[in-house]
Amino acid sequence: MWSVSARWDPALRGALRPAARATLYPPQGDPFVARLLSWSVTADRTAQVRRTMQAVLGPETVRGLAGVTVQGSYLQLDVGLDYLDGSSELIPQGLFRVDAEDTQRPDGGISITAYGREKVVIDDQFVSPRTMSGSSALDLIEALLLESVPTAVVVRRTIRDATVGRTTWESGRWKAVDGDDASLARSIGVEVWCDGRGRFVISDVPTLSDRPVWRVDAGAGGVLVTAAASTSVEGVYNCVVATGDASDGSVPVGPVIAQDTVATSPTRVGGPFGRRVRHYSSPLLRTSGQASGAARSLLANSLGLSKGLSFTAVPNPALEPGDVVLVDNGEDAPEHHIIDKIGLSSSGAMSCDTRSTKADEES
């Protein structure tokens, strides 16, 4: 969650007026503030491009290389609260590359579709197979990102790292960073994403043991509007078997096994849920420690998918996918949930998809 002032949460729970600002960065000329007619942002930590934006800008907005164009325009969207005393607090929602624009005539504004900067790296595939090695997976991740976006800031929020042996990727730059099981990020149990300012963040995989950042509660003074629970076993595993495939002739690593063994967990191995196994293999796993870290992170990212909660609430633009929230619907015991997906717009409530490992007592 973005850092906010002491006024933020009380304002969300009382009388508030939303505020938003769109700053356009054209490929030629100076940035300028564009008038927003409407906007929506989806932030999804399960997608390769975390942030996607749809917006309609005022019809007077400059078009072309000095304004809105698909040839290199970016838009920084900041959303927050107007405190009705002449002050406001805005939270960055993303630095988006404009990939589509459509002029709505007459006087309907300019409709744009734009994506977070992961899309820049995804599009910048290797022109020929790329072989890399080094003493730090984090250094290699940062180098690959900065080759595509030289002006980017890379923020490391993890101490996980490992030596990388000689490894070749055929074409996909993002696949080398965090796009599939053979990526540098997966090999050390981290994830890579762009934050609201367009910075690339390297962070640990979130877990339900993380501290809740917001209380989503019902009733007087609460922020919860609606909630719908669902239960599914799709994509759920409670045992990860990690191995190094030793494709370069080195000594194979593993198998190293990570399992859900928490006595109170409804998905524990040895309990009524049974054992559901995922095999993970990567040429980047060179030590048992690396394999163990990768297996534990993959396990953490799966546990709890069996119980999801979708809710709508008073919009809180400070939230980030991966945040843990405490949901209190006023009827059941409060539950911790990891936010996987957030939908914000210029109209209507905020939507969130979450997951939890709390047992379903009715099943």
Tens digits of residue pLDDT in 188-209? 889 999 999 999 999 998 888 8
The dihedral sign for the CA sequence 136, 137, 141, 143: positive
Q: For residues 70 and 120, what is the distance between their CA atoms, to the nearest angstrom? A: 13
Residues 243 and 225 in one domain: no
40-60 pLDDT tens trace: 999 999 899 999 999 999 999
Residues 352 and 260 in one domain: no
C-beta atoms surrounding 47 within 10 Å = 16
Q: In what order do the strands lie in the sheet with 200-204?
A: 154-157, 200-204, 190-194
Within 13 Å, how many C-alpha atoms sit on residue 264's CB side?
2
118-157 pLDDT tens trace: 999 999 999 999 988 888 999 999 999 999 999 999 999 9
85-125 pLDDT tens trace: 889 999 999 999 999 998 876 667 999 999 999 999 999 99
**Boundaries of domain holding 343:** 214-232+306-356
Residues 16 and 31 in one domain: yes
Q: For residues 175 and 10, what is the distance between their CA atoms, to the nearest angstrom? A: 42
Report if residue 25 sits inside a domain: yes
177 — pLDDT class (breaks 50, 70, 90): very high
Q: Which residue has the higher pLDDT, 80 or 133?
A: 80
Residues 32 and 18 in one domain: yes
Q: For residues 200 and 347, what is the distance between their CA atoms, to the nearest angstrom? A: 29
Least confident of 34-38, 219-223, 331-335: 331-335
C-beta atoms surrounding 165 within 10 Å = 16
Q: Of the residues 61, 82, 116, which one is the last residue of a structural domain?
A: 116
Residues 257 and 310 in one domain: no
Beta bridge partners of 130: 169
Report if residue 363 sits inside a domain: no
167 — pLDDT class (breaks 50, 70, 90): confident
Mean pLDDT score, 309-331 = 90
Q: For residues 62 and 239, what is the distance between their CA atoms, to the nearest angstrom? A: 55
Report if residue 2 sits inside a domain: no
Write down the pLDDT at residue 229.
80
Phi/psi for 255 (5° steps) reads: -75, 140
The structural domain count of the chain equals 4
Helix (H) or strand (E) holding 216: strand 214-217
Torsion of CA 120, 80, 313, 360, to 10 degrees: 50
Residues 130 and 107 in one domain: no
Report if residue 280 sits inside a domain: yes
Mean pLDDT of the chain: 88
Residues 222 and 316 in one domain: yes
Mean pLDDT score, 237-255 = 77
Report if residue 1 sits inside a domain: no
| 21 burial via Cβ count (<10 Å: 0-12, 13-18, 19+) | middle
Give how far Cα 222 sits from Cα of 12, 298, 313, 329, 346, Å: 9, 34, 9, 10, 21
Write down the pLDDT at residue 249.
61
